[in-house]
């Protein structure tokens, strides 16, 4: 999946060894495996009722002309979903876990907020939307991590008409690449931009369109709320159960071209209910 994602922002040069070539070969391999899953699920649906998940709903769907959706098109949809719904969330969670291990005072503030929520719940009671809405500081931490380590550093667009930008003529049809760092690291919008400071997102937050890890306007990522919900629920359960430190204290996230931990981010976990326990790796 990482090869496929890297291909999105690579030069379209399909030669062996290039990122674009690796992305094409990886996409074909993943699509083949997904198509096999789709074919088997279609057989299962024909023979008996199967789990009513997204795949089942896609298999029962039709095109606008009423024809059954082809397996290959379903595989394409699932392929895109896996990249957007898994890779980006996984990368961001790695970054958040790393920052929380490096800033113990931020971790303590997150823990305090999340324990207040946990203590308000009955034994075994699940989180509800109103609980998620109380996770304001944790979301500010996540937003600051997304500012510094966005899982998607930018994307391509195509000019639909001629226009002039800062004295440069951009002709219709030209491919443009916009980078989140052009504003995320701009001191006009984020003073001392390299500093990790979740308080930037308190109150009114940053200026419109200066903070764009999910894009902006009508093309904003439709999975934004899904990603927010997934990350907050995971982090709530992690933080209320464990404190941790990095096995490799100097490990960092590196752009390849997406941020990834250099050593896979192994951590030692310390359960809260054991005050003098051996760490779990």
pLDDT digits (tens, 9 = 90+) for 35-71: 888 888 888 877 776 567 778 888 888 888 888 888 8
Q: Each residue of 103-156: pLDDT tens digit? A: 999 999 999 999 999 999 998 899 999 999 999 999 999 999 999 999 888 888
- pLDDT of the residue at 51: 62
Q: Which residue has the higher pLDDT, 62 or 230?
A: 230
Cα–Cα distance for residue pair 57/110, rounded to 1 Å: 38
Cα–Cα distance for residue pair 128/68, rounded to 1 Å: 37
143 in a labelled binding site? no
261's tokens: 């931990």
Cα distances (angstroms) measured from residue 242 to each of 111, 167, 218, 229: 10, 54, 39, 20
**54 Cβ contact list (under 8 Å, min separation 6):** 78, 81
pLDDT at 277 over 60: no
62's tokens: 């039709």
Dihedral class, residue 228 (left if φ above 0, else alpha if ψ from -120 to 50, else beta)? alpha
Torsion angle defined by CA atoms of residues 14, 17, 23 and 29, in that order, rounded to the nearest 10 degrees: 110
Cα–Cα distance for residue pair 208/199, rounded to 1 Å: 17
Average pLDDT of the chain, as a whole number: 88
**252 Cβ contact list (under 8 Å, min separation 6):** 98, 261, 262
In this structure, are residues 173 and 158 in contact, taking their beta carbons and an 8 Å threshold?
Answer: yes
| Percentage above 90 pLDDT, the chain | 49
Cα–Cα distance for residue pair 198/239, rounded to 1 Å: 17
Q: What are 268's strand-pairing partners?
A: 245
Residue with tokens 């994307």: 155
């Amino acid at each position: 999946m990482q090869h496929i994602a890297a291909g999105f922002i690579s030069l379209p040069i399909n030669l062996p060894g290039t990122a674009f070539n690796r992305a094409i070969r990886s996409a074909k391999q993943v699509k083949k495996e997904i198509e096999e899953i789709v074919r088997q699920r279609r057989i299962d649906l024909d023979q008996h009722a199967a789990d009513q998940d997204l795949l089942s709903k896609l298999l029962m769907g039709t095109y606008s002309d009423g024809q059954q959706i082809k397996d290959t098109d379903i595989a394409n949809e699932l392929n895109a979903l896996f990249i957007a719904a898994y890779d980006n969330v996984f990368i961001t969670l790695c970054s958040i876990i790393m920052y929380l291990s490096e800033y113990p005072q931020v971790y303590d503030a997150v823990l305090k907020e999340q324990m207040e929520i946990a203590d308000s719940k009955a034994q075994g009671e699940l989180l509800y939307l109103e609980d998620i809405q109380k996770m304001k500081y944790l979301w500010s931490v996540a937003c600051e991590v997304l500012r510094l380590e966005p899982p998607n550093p930018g994307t391509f667009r195509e000019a639909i008409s001629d226009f002039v930008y800062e004295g440069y003529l951009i002709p219709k049809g030209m491919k443009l690449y916009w980078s989140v760092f052009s504003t995320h690291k701009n001191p006009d919008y984020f003073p001392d931009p390299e500093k990790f400071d979740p308080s930037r997102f308190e109150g009114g937050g940053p200026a419109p369109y200066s903070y764009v890890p999910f894009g902006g306007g009508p093309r904003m990522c439709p999975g934004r709320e899904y990603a927010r919900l997934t990350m907050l629920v995971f982090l709530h359960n992690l933080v209320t159960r464990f404190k941790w430190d990095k096995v490799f204290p100097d490990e960092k996230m590196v752009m390849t071209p997406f941020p990834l931990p250099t050593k896979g981010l192994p951590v030692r976990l310390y359960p809260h209910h054991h005050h003098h326990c051996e760490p779990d790796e």
